[in-house]
Chains A and B, each alone.
Chain A
Amino acid sequence: MTTMAIAAKDLSKKYESGFAVSHANFEVPMGTICGFVGPNGAGKTTTIRMLLGLISPTGGTAEVLGESITHPEKYLSQVGAMIEGPAFYPALSGEENLKVLATLGGFPIERVAELIKTVGLEGRGGSKYKTYSLGMKQRLGIAAALLPQPKVLVLDEPTNGLDPEGIQEVRDLLKRLASEGTTVFVSSHLLSELELISEYIVMLRKGEVVFAGPIQDLFLMQQPFILVKTDSQSDLQKIIEIAQGDGHKATIRSDVAHIEGPAEWAGVLNRKAFEAGILLTQLSPQMPNLEETFFEMTGDLK
């Protein structure tokens, strides 16, 4: 039997105002990269905090590396985490901040210099944290999460504030860690980035898990679609009517008609639009991607 890196069963956190996380069920296999997505306030950070023993669940259970989250001391030495962005002492240097955490966790101090280099902060490790840019702070947060040579790495928005080159570096780093056996549980708003690296997806909406499983299974659940643009809004409405007349689900998002249907139907639509005297300025069949699927499943339309 494969031990799951993370397994949540009916995991819940209820506050006076209602459920932040409600009966969440999901599993993350060992050695995979799992994207953790959901709109703001969906309960992602609350879930992560419960997994790290920072807050207590009000219902259900969860295990990390086979150990119950009621005993975080049994697994946290093998877990690296950056939650809700980096948090360090401003008056200490980046290096000294990492040394505080290395000392606390009993990790070799020599690892600090190595990690400073890994995250691209060489030459700035001795500068005070308060002088760092957002991107540098983010890199230091990732370095801190890597201190224990973790079996499970939990990262909350690791690419915030990073430039495209930095994002690429983080993506490569996470892929490398996963190839070495580290399980990466990562939340990000950059869904296109997550799509590139994730094998698994856990999707939350209003505290409930709406999907948990391999990313390919998620896409299989979704219809391919066709994006259509016309030179006037009234024509766009006519396109919607044509699509609906043929039994296709169709909506207008911004100035684009979004029609569920296979690529082959695009030809039919083109002919019908021509017959109706509508000039199409864009007609592109699309396969579902994580962003579209996310909006579809969370009901959070663009």
Chain B
Amino acid sequence: MMRIVRAEWRKLRRPTLFLGTIGAALFFTGLTSSFLYLMIDSAQGNSDRGRQVSREFLQLANGSVYAFASVGGLLGIIALCVFAAQTAQEYTYGTLRNLLVRQPGRVRILFGKLIAMKLFALVMIAISAAVSVGISYFLSDRAKVNTDLWFTSAGFQEIGKTLLNVTISVIYFGIIGMVLGLLLRSPISAISIGVLWILIIENLLGAVKPVFLKWMPGNQLSLIAQGGSSEISYSHALTLGTSYVLVGAIVATVLFSRRDVAN
């Protein structure tokens, strides 16, 4: 298994992919974190969908990671794209046959790739978390947000909890990307369908009938990162999100292990 992980890591560490992905993650993290503090008094809101997050709210123990939790969904979409591309490209480049000749255990190949991509996602999450908390702290003074509670034991607990939730969310998004890559066998199709569904279709359906959002996979995974919302509980999002990911992963694994490799 370690051989597969190391082989996959050789592909993931190439500068354009690695720096491009980290760059995108940092861009979204920086943007979200900065807006939260720089537009704290804006009438148009300072969070997603024009929501207003107050100074008092950001002063709570979880204030340091509020921005990071908010950006979790976007980090998830980045992971979805990377996992989908890395999986589907094996079909489009025809390299899957090389991999399977060198390592015929198909399920092992799949899990090895997944572990390597998880490590890649963990690096992205760790850097994003550090940058988000750093920006939040740096801008808190200017936004007149008191940070006394951020670095208490309760504050550190919140940091740990959010890191765990964002990690679960990002990895779930990644697995969904991998499933799409395996099913569609084309990076462009996998990424466009995944992103289109999560960013547009789910939001359109939610706008037509808000109750739909309670059952949409992308929304559940974003809510895991945020620790739930006032409308949908964390346990509901985690249970449903895990179910979607599990079903997708099982279907894709069975198909991958049985399907002929004809390209």
Contacts and interface: CB of A to CB of B under 8 A. Distances in A.
Interface residues of B, number: 25
Contacts of B97: 49, 52, 54, 83-84, 87
A56 B10 contact: no
A103 B95 contact: no
A268 interface: no
Interface string B95-120: 10111111111000000000000000
Given A89-B95, A96-B10, A100-B11, A76 B101 contact: yes
Nearest to A92: B14
A220 interface: no
A103 B260 contact: no
A106 interface: yes
A81 interface: yes
B14 A101 contact: no
Interface stretch (B1-9, B134-142, B211-219, B241-249): B1-9
Contacts of A101: 7, 98-99, 102
Contacts, number: 79
Given A73-B104, A87-B98, A56 B7 contact: no
A104 B102 contact: yes
A144 B261 CA distance: 19
A103 B3 contact: yes
B101 A103 contact: no
Interface in A69-100: 72-73, 76, 79, 81, 83-85, 87-92, 96, 99-100
A49 B261 contact: yes
Contact of A87 (B10, B14, B94, B262): B94
B103 A105 contact: yes
Nearest to B10: A100
A160 B101 CA distance: 21
A109 to B, nearest CB: 10
A62 to B, nearest CB: 15
A53 interface: yes
Given A91-B14, A103-B10, A73 B105 contact: yes
Nearest to A85: B94
Contacts of B99: 101, 104
Given A53-B104, A76-B102, A88 B7 contact: no
With a 10 A CB-CB cut-off, give which of A84, A100, A148 has the most chain B CB atoms: A100
B153 interface: no
B16 interface: yes
A55 interface: yes
Nearest to B108: A73
Interface string A13-37: 0000000000000000000000000
Contact of A99 (B10, B16, B94): B10
Contacts of B6: 103
B255 to A, nearest CB: 14
A87 B10 CA distance: 17
A231 B102 CA distance: 58
A106 B100 contact: no
B14 A55 contact: no
Given A81-B101, A101-B98, A87 B7 contact: no
Nearest to B109: A104
Contacts of A87: 93-95, 97-98
A56 B260 contact: yes
A87 B261 CA distance: 14
A103 B102 CA distance: 10
Contacts of A104: 3-4, 7, 99, 102-103
Interface string B64-101: 00000000000000000000000001000111011111
Given A54-B260, A84-B94, A106-B3, 14 more contacts: A49-B97, A49-B261, A73-B104, A87-B95, A88-B93, A88-B98, A91-B14, A100-B7, A100-B11, A103-B3, A103-B10, A104-B3, A105-B103, A148-B102
Interface of A: 49, 52-56, 72-73, 76, 79, 81, 83-85, 87-92, 96, 99-101, 103-106, 144, 147-148
Interface of B: 3-4, 6-7, 10-11, 14, 16-17, 89, 93-95, 97-105, 260-262
